[in-house]
Amino acid sequence: MSGVLRASGSTLGRCMCIITGASKGFGRALAHLVLNYLKTGSVLLLVEELLQNLKDMQEITIFCTVADLSTKEGVEDTVAMARQQSLKEIDHVLLINNAASLGDISPFENFTELERVNSYLAFNVSSVLALTAGMLQAFPPRAGLQWSVVNCSSMFAVQALPSWVLYCTAKAARDMMFRVLAVENPNVKVLSYAPGPMDTQMQEDIRRLTGIQYHLHPCRDSAAKLMRLLLDNDFVTACHVDFFDL
């Protein structure tokens, strides 16, 4: 972080910002919000299932790419796309690993099929490590290049919930994965942010599958809290922070 001069708390700098799962929900709210904090010359790379075009902003390059992150090709294509920007004068890389799926909500003993479980873990765990690794290689951390990684986590990374074995297991794996990343890379700030229950398709699916209706918060409120954490940048690396903690 030496050599980076920016007004603390007000911008993300000249940033290469990558957000996965950006087509809807929390990812989309983040994409919209982050634009307010990117300085001229920044690049925003949105990885999504469906191509949604953000309003063109002057001086900030926005790429929207459709990639299936459950596949090796999807991850590699995303990294390749980011790599094309690696010659720009970026002073901050911000990677937000948001894309995720709920998986089947079902009693533990129903999960007898390896393929199904592997497929879930490929998208929710493997792709996150592979993508993060790819971005670290494309933009090696160095003096003058700030690096921040967000892991969109969950209360259920920490608390076991009956019938949610896939989701809990993957979130627990991710939290630990990012803790290891932080230990290995003291110059990369890592944040596991649990955004709380929001008004998203995922919560719709939860309600439909479980009948449980949580009190939902607007995505933009949770996105705003995350943004404040990133701008203030005084969180302890690798900590797990919940929307309700703030």
> With respect to another protein, which residue has the nearer C-beta, 40 or 112?
112
- Interface residue with another protein among 14, 28, 174, 225 (CB under 8 A) is 174
> With respect to another protein, which residue has the nearer C-beta, 30 or 153?
153
Q: How far apart are CA 56 and CA 50, in angstroms?
A: 17
Q: 3-class SS at 86?
A: coil
Q: Residue 157: how many CA atoms within 13 Å on its side-chain side?
A: 25
- Interface residue with another protein among 56, 89, 184, 234 (CB under 8 A) is 184
236 binds another protein (CB under 8 A): no
> With respect to another protein, which residue has the nearer C-beta, 4 or 183?
183
169 binds another protein (CB under 8 A): yes
The answer to whether 61 and 43 have CB atoms below 8 angstroms apart is yes
- Interface residue with another protein among 4, 84, 108, 236 (CB under 8 A) is 108
Q: How far apart are CA 111 and CA 38, in angstroms?
A: 44
176 binds another protein (CB under 8 A): yes
Q: How far apart are CA 16 and CA 147, in angstroms?
A: 10
> With respect to another protein, which residue has the nearer C-beta, 59 or 115?
115
- Interface residue with another protein among 4, 80, 143, 160 (CB under 8 A) is 160
164 binds another protein (CB under 8 A): yes
> What token pair was written down for 120?
């879930």
The answer to whether 37 and 45 have CB atoms below 8 angstroms apart is no
Spatial neighbors of 222 by CB under 8 A, at least 6 apart, are 26, 29, 195, 196, 198, 243
47 binds another protein (CB under 8 A): no
Q: How many helices (H) and strands (E) does the chain have?
A: 7, 7
239 binds another protein (CB under 8 A): no
> Which residues contact another protein by CB under 8 A?
71-72, 75-76, 79, 107-115, 117-118, 121-122, 125-127, 129-130, 132-134, 136-137, 157, 160-165, 168-177, 179-185, 238
